[in-house]
Amino acid sequence: MKLPENTNAYLWGAAVGAIALAVVGLRWGGWVTGGTATKTAATAAADAKVAVLAPICADRFRAQGDSAVKIAELAKSSSWDRGNVVEKSGFAVMPGSKTSDSDVARACAELLAIPTTPKT
């Protein structure tokens, strides 16, 4: 069987085109590798967990008897230390868990530091 005369040029063109397509797709086309997709999904899951659990932590912190005093003390502390204060209080430990999550504690402290307006 005889191949057409320009077969070699066609094969080289196809190979160069495939490489160019991969480079353009991965750089500017939004394509990602499996590893990048896994990291992105893990980050999104952690962010979602914090977004759901931080308000629960804040509600539990506000439900304690002397919450107004403790929230005032929390607001006076440095923004770097607030997460540690909430974490040490134990309200960042969710039911069914034995340890607290520092990201949840930090987000909870941020929610508690925001002054709330009284409901009418």
Give the pLDDT of residue 3: 73
**Is the entire prediction scored with pTM above 0.75?**
no
Handedness of CA 40, 43, 48, 51 (dihedral sign): negative
Are 61 and 69 in contact, with CB atoms under 8 Å apart?
no
**24-51 pLDDT, tens digit each:** 887 888 888 899 999 999 999 999 999 9
Burial of 38 (0-12, 13-18, 19+ CB in 10 A): exposed
Chain center to CA of 9: 49
Q: Which two tokens stand for residue 11?
A: 């094969």
pLDDT digits (tens, 9 = 90+) for 51-88: 999 999 999 888 888 888 888 888 888 878 888 888 88
